[in-house]
Structure 1
Amino acid sequence: MADSVAVEDPKFTLQEVLDTFKSCLSENKEVFLEHYVAGWLGLVRFMNSLGSVFSFIAKDAVNKIQILINHLNGENGAHYVTVQSMVKYELDNQLVDLTKRGSFPESGCRTLLRLHRALRWLELFLERLRTSTEESKTSVMCSEAYNQSLSQHHAWIIRKAAGTAFWALPGRATFFDVMNVGTPEQVVAMLGDALPLISEVYQVTENLYAQNNILDLP
C-alpha cells in the first residue's frame, strides 16, 4: 500500500473499479480494507475526470482515503486488514469517539463510515445511469441518488451547493466516454457486472456497522 493517495495516475477505467471491488470480499465475506481503498481511488479518478463538479465530494474522499492508508501502514496495521478486524480492534480499545465528547484521533470506523455513505450515493447514481436512455438528464439522476443517500448526512449549505453543482453535470454520453469501456452497450453491460459487487460490499459493511451500533457516529 502506498504511503499517500495518488489520484492523478492512470486514466480511470470502469474495469479498474470492477476488478478492485471483485477483490474486496474474502470467502467469509470480510471486506479487505486495502482493496476497498483501491476501489475508492478509482472512483475518485472517475469523479475528477468529470471536472470540478464532484470536487466537494472527491476532495473529502481523498482525505478519508489518506487516513485509512495511514492506519494500514501504521504500527497497528495488522488490525486493519479487514473492515471487520478494524471495527473489532477500535471498539475493543475504545478508539472510536461514540459521543463526540472527547479529543480522539480520526478513527478508521468513523472515516470509513463517511466513504460508505458516499459509496451508496455513487452506487445509486451509476444504477440510474445503467438504466437510463439518451434523453435522461444526468443532473436529475444524480440529484435523486444524492437525496436518497448522502443529503441526509450533509448540512443545508452543502446540500445547496451540491444541488447547484449537479445542474452543471455533463450529459450521459460524456459519462459513458469517461468510463473508457467502449460503446454505450458495453458500458451498460460492465455496469451490470460492477454494481452488484459494489452493492454487496456496501451491504456487508452496512450490516457490520448496524450490528455494532455505529451507523450514526458523530
Structure 2
Amino acid sequence: MAESFSLQNVLDTFKSSLSENKEIYIQYYIAGWKELVSFMNSLGTVFSFISKDAVNKIQILENLQAGESGSHYLTVQSMVKYELENELVDLTKRSSHPESGCRTLLRLHRALLWLELFLERLRTSTEESKTSVMCSDAYNESLAQHHAWIIRKATGVAFCALPGRDSFFQVMNAGSEQEVVALLGEALALISEVHQITEDLYGQNNLLELP
C-alpha cells in the first residue's frame, strides 16, 4: 500500500509548481495535491473527509483548465486576475459562482496549511510524540476555524484512530527515519513557500474569507 505514495514526488511537484518569478503553476499545484491525497489515503479512512473534498476541488480546477477559458488558469496569479476582472468570484454570498477557481483553490490552500503544520510536527517529533495530538493541534490552528462544529467533533474522534509515528514514516516511502526527516524538511520548505505566496496574493485581493 505504501508504494503508492512517494514523498520525493511531493517535493518534485511543488518544486515544479514555482516559476522563476514565483508564480504558481496550477497544473503542478494540483499534481502536488494528488500526491498528498495519496498520502492521506494510504493511512486508511481517517483523513477521508479531507481527502474526498480535496479530490472534488482538484476536479473543479482541472475542469477549468480544460475549459474554453483554460489559458487563464495557467497560474494562480493569472487565475485570480482573470476571475476578478471578469467578476467570476462571489465575494459576498454563494450564488452565481459557487465553484470559482479562486474559491476552490482557497479550500485547498487552507487544507495545505493543516498538512504543512502537521507534517512539520511529525518531522520534529520524538518517539514519545502522539500523532493524534500533533494532528489535532495542527487542525485547530488551521482548518478548524473554517469547519462547522459537527465536523470538528467528528474530526477529533477520527484523529484518535491515527496510526503511530512509525507508520507515518513507513508510508513516506523514503528510506530510514533520518532520510524521511531530511526529505520532509526539503518538501515542507517548498510547500511553505507556495502557501505563503498564495496567502499574500489572496490577502492583497481580499480573497482570504471567500464564502
Q: TM-score, normalised by structure 2?
A: 0.98
User: Are residues 1:17 and 2:3 paired?
Assistant: no
Over the aligned positions, Cα root-mean-square deviation in angstroms equals 1.1
The SS at the match of 2:4 is coil
Is residue 2:206 matched to residue 1:203? no
Matches within 5 A, 1:144-155: 144-155=137-148
1:47 to 40, 48, 60: 40
- The one-letter code sitting in structure 2 at the alignment partner of 1:186 is E
Q: Distance in 1 between matches of 2:146 and 2:200?
A: 19
Q: Output aligned runs, 1:95-174, within 5 Å.
A: 95-100=88-93, 102-174=95-167
Report Cα offsets for 1:63-103 as digits up to 9, x if no partner. 00000000111111100000000000000000001111633
- d(CA) in 2 for partners of 1:132, 1:102: 44
Q: Deviations over 1:43-73 (max 9, x none)?
A: 0000000000000000000000000000111
3-state SS of 2:162 partner = coil
1:70 aligns with 2:63: yes
Aligned equivalents of 1:59, 1:135: Cα separation in 2 = 31
Aligned to 2:27: 34
Aligned partner of 2:208 in structure 1 is 215
For 1:139 and 1:55, how far apart are their aligned partners in 2?
15
Structure 1 segments unaligned to the other structure (5+ residues): 1-7
Count residues in correspondence: 210
Identity %: 75
TM superposition shift of 1:22: 0.5
Equivalent residue number for residue 4 of structure 1: none
CA distance in 1 between counterparts of 2:185 and 2:24 reads: 21
Q: Please tell me the residue identity of whatever aligns with 2:27.
A: E
The letter of the residue matching 1:39 is G
Unaligned runs of 5+ in 2: none
Deviation at 1:135, TM superposition (A): 1.0
SS in 2 for 1:175: helix
Letter in structure 1 aligned against 2:71: A
1:90-147 Cα distance to aligned partner (Å, 9 max, x none): 0000000111163325100000000000000000000000000111100000000000
Shift in alpha-carbon separation, 1:186–1:101, aligned structure 2, 3 A: closer
Aligned pair 1:57/2:53, yes or no? no
